[in-house]
Amino acid sequence: MAAPRLRGKRRVDYDASSKNAELDGSGDLPTVWANDILSLTGETPTMKKWLLAALFALLCAPAHSATLIGDTVGCSFTGGAFTCSPSSAVVDGNAEFTIGGDFGPVLSVDVGASSFTITALLDFPFGSDTFTLSSLDLGSPITGVLLSINGIISGLSSSNVSFGANFVTIFFPDTQWSDRSSATIELQTSPVPIPAAFPLLAAGLGAMGFMGWRRKRKTAA
């Protein structure tokens, strides 16, 4: 006797091994989904390989995290007697770098999820120095920066800041930093667009499943 039809639900005939794999967790989800579509469309094993490849491409596409926490970034300070130490560090939420010379650090650099803050450790003037923070990977290129100043820093403005896809440079032309004053740079990026092929692929798979369902429905009728 034929199995009763349920309104609002599709009945899919699983292969026994695929069904067991889904229930006990030993199978991977894309394979189960591919079997679902094949059971509806009645396609060949060759088509199954293509379906599996498409599903894995959709589900396993590399994703970039929009945060610098855990990343390794580079630091340099040139133009005078000061250097940035260390030259690279893993972002961990604390002050990763210091800038100074023989008598000790004068600035600290704290990198956050999508920003960094430079803090003066004492009153100090700078000449024609250049600070660069590099390897800033936020998943998409940097498209803008926003400078905010806390305290008194004379000679520093947004015109002193430049940027590229994954770096920010600040020019220090005769700037005067007061003790514990700070400058924070917020990094701005554009959203990562969804690859054009993904919606087309999803629509194609959906159309295949719908056509297979209608074909089986007509055959059963």
What structural domains and CATH numbers belong to the chain? 16-62+199-220 (no CATH), 72-188 (2.60.40)
> Which of 73, 96, 71 lies closest to 85, judged by CA?
96
Q: What is the pLDDT of residues 34-72, one digit of tens each?
A: 555 555 445 555 555 555 555 555 555 544 458 999 999
pLDDT of residue 197: 53
Which residues are registered as beta bridge partners of 75?
133
Supply the pTM of this predicted model. Answer: 0.62
| C-beta separation of 190 from 140 below 8 A | yes
Q: What is the mean pLDDT of residues 82-86?
A: 95
Assign 156 a pLDDT band (cuts: 50, 70, 90). Answer: very high
The arithmetic mean of pLDDT across residues 160-165, rounded, is 96
Query: Is 212 a residue whose pLDDT tops 90?
Result: no
**What's the confidence (pLDDT) of residue 93?**
82
- As a whole number of angstroms, the distance between CA 206 and CA 36 comes to 12
Average pLDDT for the chain: 76
One-letter amino acid for residue 20 of the chain: N
Choose the weakest-confidence range: 93-97, 148-152, 182-186, 203-207. 203-207
Give the C-alpha distances (Å, rounded to integers) separating 80 from 9, 74, 169, 179. 73, 19, 16, 20
Q: How many CA atoms lie within 13 A of 179 on its CB side?
A: 2
**What confidence score (pLDDT) does residue 190 get?**
83
Of the ranges 14-28, 36-50, 174-188, which one carries the lowest mean pLDDT score?
14-28
What is the C-alpha separation between 81 and 69, in angstroms, rounded?
30
CA distances from 98 to 117, 140, 156 (A): 12, 27, 19
The lowest-confidence range among 48-52, 116-120, 204-208 is 48-52
